[in-house]
Copies of this chain bind each other. A is one copy, B any other.
């Protein structure tokens, strides 16, 4: 933490550096004006969300999105636009997901708000009907392992509200979605429902990927809206006759071909050295993928557009990468890193935006301490638009592959995280839940950071 306070001081005692910082401040103000007054990001987002919409890897909309992305990069002023082949999984939901409470009691119970988990197998027409057993967590599951045979397991693990950064609550809870189904199947469970990965004040169900363990039956698994999870939990406590009926239709089709869409501005001094900026083009099938990750896509394109509009000629080649597949396999980033390594490319820095289009607060980084100190020295330049910290360790899923592959310093825009899990992987991740200006401030910060890394190196 101290670094943030220390470095600008050191910096400003150097008058040459102070002058440079003033010039940079003016240039970044011009980038900001460009984005805020006539940037194309919001209109791009409108088209991506409203005209293309949901675009799960392998779905027909994937290919519309790729075509749109290439065109948007060209319009933004890319020198070169090309596709990079990526083999992606092709999961389909296949039908309407259902969870119903069955009970000897004669009071009516509405179907629960639910979505099958991504990559899950369908129950088929007949569905699954079984008694339900609620578990608090994996310890509780293990304690009850002898009672699970033939049952539906209900993981009711809540987000911990004490984490100020909501991604920590997600990291803490998401294992119940990822490995919960197979861990229950191991003990003979025939289905799983989970409390959605959210702390929202609504009842939207939140889908997301599970990972079956091939050693156990691949049982149906669904997420419940939070209000319905609470209702189910209350009901289980005083209705011994309660059973659940689940029906899902999910299916994994053969892998298919999709593409990372890449647009470049060629570097004036080091054309063979790359700075990458990107987000992922795919989304879940149940929403418009507005914050996840439409905003990352249009912010990345905005970086290129803003450079072009100001006539900036970067020294390194700036590559905007719209990754093909993050949601259910992260094959987009994996392939990009693999190709970079195969070709022996030199990557100076790679930045991602995949945490929602919310007001910016920081950048998370996976870099050396010296590199972090250098980025921290730029905070006075970034703070007018919202970024005041680069203390967090971490980077986006997609750029994360570059670091182990070829040692690239990587980072991610860190927007305010309070609203993300209200809509993450849920039907309400739509354009109306993006604030134009918050998203634009994020694009400004990304443009500023790329400008500084290009100018001063890392």
Contact of A359 among B4, B161, B383, B416 (CB under 8 A): B416
Pick the residue among B5, B33, B418 that contacts A5 (CB under 8 A): B5
CB of B437 within 8 A of CB of A32, answer: no
Q: How large is the interface on A (under 10, 10 to 19, 20 to 34, 35 or more residues)?
A: 35 or more
Query: Which residues in B have their C-beta under 8 angstroms from that of A32?
Result: 162, 164
Q: Chain B contacts of A20 at CB under 8 A? A: none
Distance from A46 Cβ to chain B, minimum over Cβ atoms (Å): 9
A438 to B164, CA, bound (A): 10
Q: Are A37 and B385 in contact (CB under 8 A)?
A: no
**Does A2 touch B at the CB level, under 8 Å?**
yes
The digit string for A394-433, where 1 denotes a CB below 8 A from any CB of B, is 0000000000000000000000101100100000000000
Interface check A243, CB cutoff 8 A: no
B441 and A422 contact, CB distance less than 8 A: no
Which residues of A279-338 are within 8 A (CB) of B?
none
Cα A436 to Cα B202 with chains together (Å): 11
Does A217 count as interface, using CB distance less than 8 angstroms? no
Q: Which residue of B lies closest to A163 (CB)?
A: B36
A8 to B380, CA, bound (A): 16
0/1 string, A82-126, CB within 8 A of B gives 1: 000000000000000000000000000000000000000000000
A61 CA / B68 CA spacing, docked (Å): 52
What is the total number of copies of this protein in its complex? 2
Q: Report B-chain residues with C-beta under 8 Å of the C-beta of A5.
A: 4-6, 8-9
A370 at the interface (CB under 8 A from B): no
Complex interface: chain B residues within 8 A of A201 (CB): 42, 436
Query: Given the known A-B contacts A9-B6, A422-B435, are A36 and B359 also in contact in the complex, defined by CB atoms under 8 Å?
Result: no
Contacts of A161 in B (CB 8 A): 36-37, 437
Q: Which residues of B contact A143 (CB under 8 A)?
A: none
- Cα-based distance from A219 to B161 in the complex (angstroms): 52
What's the Cα separation between A12 and B32 when bound, in Å? 36
0/1 string, A424-455, CB within 8 A of B gives 1: 00000000000111100100000000000000
Distance of A437 Cα from B201 Cα, bound (Å) = 10
A199 contacts B418, C-beta separation under 8 Å: no
Complex CA gap A436/B419 in Å reads: 9
Q: Is A240's beta carbon under 8 Å from chain B?
A: no
Q: Which residue of B lies closest to A422 (CB)?
A: B435
The CA of A385 and the CA of B361, in the complex, are separated in Å by 12
Q: Using known A-B contacts A32-B164, A161-B37, determine if residue A199 contacts B359 with beta carbons closer than 8 Å.
A: no
Collect the chain B residues with CB atoms within 8 Å of residue A16's CB: none
Query: A1 to B380, Cβ gap below 8 A?
Result: yes
Please name all residues of chain B whose beta carbon is closer than 8 Å to the beta carbon of A36 when the two chains form the complex. 161-162
Known A-B contacts A1-B380, A161-B37; the reply to A419 vs B438 at CB < 8 A is yes
Closest CB-CB distance, A88 to chain B, in whole Å? 33
- Cβ of A165 to closest chain B Cβ, rounded Å: 9
**Shortest CB–CB separation between residue A349 and chain B, in angstroms?**
25
Q: Determine the chain B residues whose CB is within 8 A of the CB of A12 once the complex forms.
A: 2
Do A164 and B435 have beta carbons less than 8 Å apart?
A: no
A60 at interface, CB cutoff 8 A: no
Q: At the interface, yes or no: A388 with Cβ under 8 Å from chain B?
A: yes
- The distance in angstroms between the C-alpha atoms of A422 and B433, with both chains bound, is 12
List 14 other contacts, CB 8 Å, given A6-B9, A161-B437, A388-B389: A1-B383, A2-B9, A2-B12, A5-B5, A9-B9, A33-B162, A37-B161, A164-B385, A166-B437, A201-B436, A359-B359, A361-B386, A418-B435, A419-B438
The 4 closest A-B pairs by CB, nearest first: A5-B5, A36-B161, A418-B437, A388-B388
Question: What would 27 A/B residue contacts be, using CB atoms closer than 8 Å?
Answer: A1-B380, A1-B383, A2-B8, A2-B9, A2-B12, A4-B5, A5-B8, A5-B9, A6-B9, A32-B162, A32-B164, A37-B161, A42-B201, A164-B386, A164-B441, A199-B437, A201-B436, A359-B359, A359-B416, A359-B418, A383-B389, A386-B416, A388-B388, A418-B438, A418-B441, A419-B435, A419-B438
